[in-house]
A and B are shown apart, each in its own frame.
Chain A
Amino acid sequence: MQKKLGITFLLLFNTMLLMAQSKYTVSGTVKQKSSGETLVGVTASVVENPTVGVITNEYGFFSLSLPQGNYTLRFSYIGYQQQLIPIKLDSNVTLNINMSDETTLKEVVVSSKKDNDNLTKAAMGTEVLDMRTAAKMPVVFGEKDLVKTIQLMPGVKSSGEGSNGFSVRGGATDQNLIILDEAPVYNASHLLGIFSTFNSDAIKDATIIKGNSQAQYGGRLSSVLDVKMKEGNNKDYHVSGGLGLISSRMTIEGPIQKDKSSFIISGRRTYADLLANMSSDFRDVKLYFYDLNAKANVAINSKNKIFFSGYFGKDVLSVSKTFGSNWGNATGTLRWNSVVSSKLFSNTSFIYSNYDFNVGFNTDGNSININSNIKDLNLKQDFTLFLNSQNTVRFGLNTIHHTITPTTTEGTGIVSNKKVRKGLENAVYVNNSWKASDKISMDYGLRFSFFYVLGGNTYNIYTNNQLTQSVKLDEGSIGKAYYNLEPRLSTNFRVSENASIKLGYARNTQNLHLMSNSTGGSPTDQWIGNSYNIKPEIADQVSIGYSRNFNDNAYELNSEVYYKFMQHQIDYRDGTDINTVPDIESELLFGNGRAYGIETIIKKKKGKLTGWIGYTLSKTERQIGGINNGQWYNAKQDRTHDLSVVGIYSLTSRWTLSGIFVYTTGNAVTFPTGRYVMNDMVIYQYGSRNADRMPATHRLDISATYERPAKKRYQSSWSFGLYNVYGRRNPYSITFRENAVNPQKIDAVQTSLFQWIPSVTYNFKF
């Protein structure tokens, strides 16, 4: 550890030396021309000196320092017309760039495109999801969904058919940091996992980073899914929406001050239960969700801007008057962007996030309520220092106050002594993106994270699951503290014009853990913070990558090999009912995990046919004392093969066809191996844990989108989709039961969902 630290600081020192030369700075914001939305991740480079370049930050801001002289700046971004801007630099210059969407403008002639970010950027294991691609993909029930699209990337696996839970490089579903405008989203699914909480109409873009994130991200082991909401069009008012078979949505956006500030409000509501109600069996069933995204930004002056964004979503499920439940997330983010100087950009965020779950049973005057809640108050201060043309430094701090109410049961005569738990999660970080030469670029950084168990509760200490000590912490006092240093490094070596090799190492830690009895992500899952027994989970990941582009960057090949070792992984003893056990900590078991594999993706980015083929070969195992006799066993999310093929074909200027094919090895599961009889009841005998496999899942989905000719401002399109074209009965679950004729014969019964689901959606915009 000491040695790693030494190297990191040496590199930072190197950066400081480079600072010494005096130069002029060109800085500004890059926006989309038609809507005024800021563009993130745009490469700003100098034509005369290809080694020099920066990337716009989360708010579209860039800054480049160069010696006095005449230059041509090149702004390039996938899917947008490249821009070449000549500048005369003899003082500091502010430059605001408006880039045009390739699909909307055809008159601008540009020189050869440079869609080769994969060869120049140091970032590893990163995929940026373009919402325009997601919009054309076939999805179940016709509701475009960014999480479903993310699941088609190599290394990202869906946790089950129709599920919005996902596993990244062998991680568990709770090891993904999902943030919506910086606010953590604790339950990213609606309608029992069929829909994601993200309304695509309100989303600008989404980036998934598979374990090699920069130091400003932290708190989860496996990945970061960074979702950014649109800011709203600051030029014109627009209304858009869609009508589908089971859901509808509507978005309104427009300027507050023209060209300066804007707002967007977007809402969704499903009505699946109306369909279900048509069947007499489900007349009393209510099942729906709604959600609302809202965002506004106000420019105080040319250097300061304030953003407010909020999300509110709720799921409701009830059966007549006897059973009712609802759950949902609410988040709010208040941000202040400030251009402190032409080189220093500051962002301050206050974030509120709340997730709660309620379920009630009511029979014969007896009522029971089960409730759990997690509430966060979060402060982030982030600086981007555009030090010089080679170095961009990110540094800052983050502190989150967690208030977690564990699942408590209340009702007639129920005694519950579960209390709210509090924790303080903090981090300070520094990260430098260094463009060492036109061949080598590097991201390196260090995150120092520390977690405090806060008072107001009594914490039990268990040794071998036996209570050995109780610690009573007074309100306001600080109990156990955990400290972790997380070094991060990723490097890109350009080995030729068309190829590069990448190397990365990252340590991630996790202070909040999800207790779940189910695989798919159930609303009853509960979060728990570090305690005296639960230590922060730690993952170390090493990865090596190779990227190569063909045919003038029309084709892109990226391949990465990774090995990840995880410490302090959590499971519980057999027979633990996590919802009723008085103190779940008494039932916990701890151990290690390891995951390794190779991921390959080939993309076709240009032409009438675009799309990708992604393939992952991987292994994921756990070793936990008290499970499987302490031997390594397959994690349930271990799937050997995972293939996805995505194709989008522009048939004419109006018709677009698309198709998805997926194949994955079944989950690792435990089937019985034998049977015996006790008290005249058959009981199954089991062998090694997760030694069996569910049958493989494969499926083809297709869709067609027709864009109607625009009438003045009114644009509209029809999308037709068919999910599971060849009607494969993919396994959802397998259960065992005695044969009706011969009770000594055991039948394995497979349940399947989603055989041929057609969908029609009408989208409009004016």
Chain B
Amino acid sequence: MRNTVSIVLIALTLTGCEKVVNLKYKDNQSRIIIDGNITNETGPYFIKITKSVNLSNTESNPTVDNAVVKISDDAGNSETLAPEGSGIYRTNTLIGVVGRTYTLTVLAENQTYTAQSTMPQQVPFDSIKIEKVVTSSETEYNLVPVYNDPTQKGNNYRFALLVNNKPVNQHFIQNDQLRNGEANSFRLEINGDDLKIKSADSIEITMQCIDQKVAAFYSTLVLMADSGPGGGTTPSNPQSNISNGAMGLFSAHTVQKNIKVVQ
């Protein structure tokens, strides 16, 4: 909606223009970033530990390689992950099971960080529906992930999109707040400024059933990306599920993939 509005507004003036500007950024507090997933697919699973950098810094993010990383579940399993270098830690024995709650403990730079996530029940991802929208000036494609939302309330879904095997750097979240227990017909809200889907494109969507806190994290990112004229929703750091001031996310979720070529 808001995209449409701003497009029309710019069209109206016929003079709207963009330029890259130089801004002076405020100092950044470098924070520990923990990024890890447990899925219902067979392992190994990985936890990545890095640090945030100043916006004006063009180097890659520094990694944390001497941390002690442990994951346990509520079925009594526990293991210490093996460091692989480049900030990556790998599981050996752990199995991702639907309904289990996983606890992550990271000891890094004399600080302890913990996080918990519960893997929700899997909702089958049936297919991808591609809707063709023809206007006089152009043809657009809407991508609708087809699944049946269960009758129980509180389901959250995240979608990772690849177009022609290239990951799309946008966040897509759906939930059952408006249409509980119905077959989904909502499309993914793609920002068309950055991504134009064309005929013969290969579309790959991975659907994740995620828990509430993980969904809240991504919803914040979605709203910020949708920021309207003059700033819109005031941006902020999304609420991480990791304790002690670390940023990032630890998510236990199901995954299921579908691929379709745009006709």
B223 CB contacts on chain A under 8 angstroms: 517, 575-577
Q: Which residue of A lies closest to B251 (CB)?
A: A679
A281→B179 contact, CB < 8 A: no
B229→A684 contact, CB < 8 A: no
Measured CA separation A580–B174 after assembly (Å): 11
B11 sits at the interface (CB 8 A): yes
B110 sits at the interface (CB 8 A): no
- Selected contact of A749 from candidates B18, B30, B216, B227, CB within 8 Å: B18
B177 sits at the interface (CB 8 A): yes
- Selected contact of B20 from candidates A160, A676, A691, A749, CB within 8 Å: A749
B165 CB contacts on chain A under 8 angstroms: none
For window 490-516 of A, CB contacts with B under 8 Å fall at none
For window 658-681 of A, CB contacts with B under 8 Å fall at 667, 669-681
- Selected contact of A669 from candidates B33, B52, B231, B239, CB within 8 Å: B231
- Selected contact of B228 from candidates A522, A690, A752, A755, CB within 8 Å: A522
A159 CB contacts on chain B under 8 angstroms: 230
A240 CB, min distance to chain B CBs, angstroms: 27
A415→B180 contact, CB < 8 A: yes
Measured CA separation A676–B57 after assembly (Å): 11
Measured CA separation A4–B12 after assembly (Å): 54
A674→B23 contact, CB < 8 A: no
B15→A679 contact, CB < 8 A: no
Measured CA separation A575–B187 after assembly (Å): 20
Q: Mark B218-237, 1 if CB is under 8 A from A, else 0.
A: 01110100011111111111
A412 CB contacts on chain B under 8 angstroms: 185
A729→B19 contact, CB < 8 A: yes
B21 sits at the interface (CB 8 A): yes
B28→A685 contact, CB < 8 A: yes
- Selected contact of A363 from candidates B35, B37, B131, B137, CB within 8 Å: B131
Measured CA separation A742–B60 after assembly (Å): 11
- Selected contact of B9 from candidates A685, A694, A753, CB within 8 Å: A753
B135 CB contacts on chain A under 8 angstroms: 283-284, 319-320, 322
A744→B60 contact, CB < 8 A: yes
- Selected contact of B137 from candidates A281, A359, A574, CB within 8 Å: A281
B120 sits at the interface (CB 8 A): no
B20→A581 contact, CB < 8 A: no
Measured CA separation A326–B55 after assembly (Å): 41
A678→B229 contact, CB < 8 A: no
A732→B25 contact, CB < 8 A: no
B20→A285 contact, CB < 8 A: no
Q: Which residue of A lies closest to B220 (CB)?
A: A575
A645 sits at the interface (CB 8 A): no
B232→A685 contact, CB < 8 A: no
B10 sits at the interface (CB 8 A): yes
A415 CB contacts on chain B under 8 angstroms: 178-180
B52→A682 contact, CB < 8 A: no
B126 sits at the interface (CB 8 A): no
B235→A684 contact, CB < 8 A: yes
A299 sits at the interface (CB 8 A): no
Measured CA separation A704–B51 after assembly (Å): 59
- Selected contact of B8 from candidates A282, A679, A695, A754, CB within 8 Å: A282
Measured CA separation A746–B22 after assembly (Å): 10
Measured CA separation A499–B217 after assembly (Å): 59
Of the listed stretches A41-49, A257-265, A272-280, name the one at the interface; the rest are far from the partner chain. Answer: A272-280
A287 sits at the interface (CB 8 A): yes
Measured CA separation A39–B63 after assembly (Å): 74
Measured CA separation A127–B85 after assembly (Å): 68
B152 sits at the interface (CB 8 A): no
A243 CB, min distance to chain B CBs, angstroms: 19
A689 sits at the interface (CB 8 A): yes
A751 sits at the interface (CB 8 A): yes
A685→B237 contact, CB < 8 A: yes
A283→B29 contact, CB < 8 A: no
B27 sits at the interface (CB 8 A): yes
- Interface-central residue, B131, B230, B247, by most chain A CB under 10 Å: B230
Q: How many residues of A contact B (CB 8 A)?
A: 95
A732 CB, min distance to chain B CBs, angstroms: 6
Q: Mark B33-57, 1 if CB is under 8 A from A, else 0.
A: 1010100000000000011111110
- Selected contact of B231 from candidates A519, A676, A678, A753, CB within 8 Å: A519
Measured CA separation A690–B12 after assembly (Å): 30
A129 sits at the interface (CB 8 A): no
- Given A363-B187, A675-B55, A678-B33, answer yes or no on A413-B182 (Cβ-Cβ < 8 Å): yes
B14 CB contacts on chain A under 8 angstroms: 275-276, 279
A282→B18 contact, CB < 8 A: no
B219→A672 contact, CB < 8 A: no
B21→A732 contact, CB < 8 A: no
Measured CA separation A363–B247 after assembly (Å): 39
Q: Which residue of A lies closest to B171 (CB)?
A: A681
Measured CA separation A711–B180 after assembly (Å): 70
- Given A281-B11, A363-B131, answer yes or no on A745-B231 (Cβ-Cβ < 8 Å): no
B8→A287 contact, CB < 8 A: yes
B150 sits at the interface (CB 8 A): no
- Given A359-B1, A414-B179, answer yes or no on A673-B229 (Cβ-Cβ < 8 Å): no
A283→B136 contact, CB < 8 A: yes
- Given A519-B232, A691-B26, answer yes or no on A752-B17 (Cβ-Cβ < 8 Å): yes
B52→A674 contact, CB < 8 A: yes
Measured CA separation A748–B233 after assembly (Å): 17
B111 sits at the interface (CB 8 A): no
A742→B58 contact, CB < 8 A: yes
- Given A676-B33, A750-B19, answer yes or no on A366-B160 (Cβ-Cβ < 8 Å): no
A756→B15 contact, CB < 8 A: yes
A409 sits at the interface (CB 8 A): yes
Q: Mark A574-586, 1 if CB is under 8 A from B, else 0.
A: 1111001110000
- Given A734-B21, A754-B13, answer yes or no on A192-B5 (Cβ-Cβ < 8 Å): yes
B109 sits at the interface (CB 8 A): no
- Given A287-B8, A685-B31, A744-B58, answer yes or no on A520-B52 (Cβ-Cβ < 8 Å): no
Measured CA separation A199–B185 after assembly (Å): 43
B28→A674 contact, CB < 8 A: yes
- Interface-central residue, B8, B135, B136, B221, by most chain A CB under 10 Å: B8
A485 sits at the interface (CB 8 A): no
B235→A672 contact, CB < 8 A: yes
Q: Mark B114-129, 1 if CB is under 8 A from A, else 0.
A: 0000000000000000
Measured CA separation A690–B234 after assembly (Å): 8
For window 287-310 of A, CB contacts with B under 8 Å fall at 287
- Given A524-B1, A673-B28, A677-B61, answer yes or no on A518-B8 (Cβ-Cβ < 8 Å): no
- Selected contact of A285 from candidates B11, B30, B233, CB within 8 Å: B11
- Given A283-B135, A359-B1, A518-B2, answer yes or no on A687-B27 (Cβ-Cβ < 8 Å): yes
Measured CA separation A681–B35 after assembly (Å): 11
For window 80-126 of B, CB contacts with A under 8 Å fall at none
- Selected contact of A575 from candidates B9, B22, B25, B219, CB within 8 Å: B219
B61→A676 contact, CB < 8 A: yes
- Selected contact of B177 from candidates A320, A580, A681, CB within 8 Å: A580
- Given A680-B167, A744-B59, answer yes or no on A416-B178 (Cβ-Cβ < 8 Å): yes
B242 CB, min distance to chain A CBs, angstroms: 12
B232 CB contacts on chain A under 8 angstroms: 517-519, 733
Can you name 22 A-B pairs with beta carbons within 8 Å? A287-B8, A317-B4, A317-B8, A320-B136, A366-B185, A415-B180, A520-B228, A522-B2, A575-B217, A575-B239, A636-B234, A667-B231, A676-B52, A679-B37, A679-B160, A685-B31, A685-B237, A688-B26, A742-B58, A745-B58, A750-B20, A751-B16
Task: List the 4 closest A-B pairs by CB distance, nearest first.
Answer: A575-B220, A674-B28, A673-B28, A676-B52
List 15 extra interface pairs beyond A413-B183, A674-B53, A734-B23, CB under 8 A. Answer: A191-B12, A280-B137, A284-B135, A414-B179, A518-B230, A574-B236, A580-B177, A673-B25, A674-B30, A678-B248, A685-B237, A687-B26, A691-B26, A746-B56, A753-B9
Q: Give A contacts to B, CB under 8 Å.
A: 159-160, 191-192, 194, 272, 275-276, 279-285, 287, 317, 319-320, 322-323, 359, 363-364, 366, 409, 412-416, 517-520, 522, 524, 574-577, 580-582, 636, 667, 669-692, 694-695, 729, 732-738, 742, 744-757
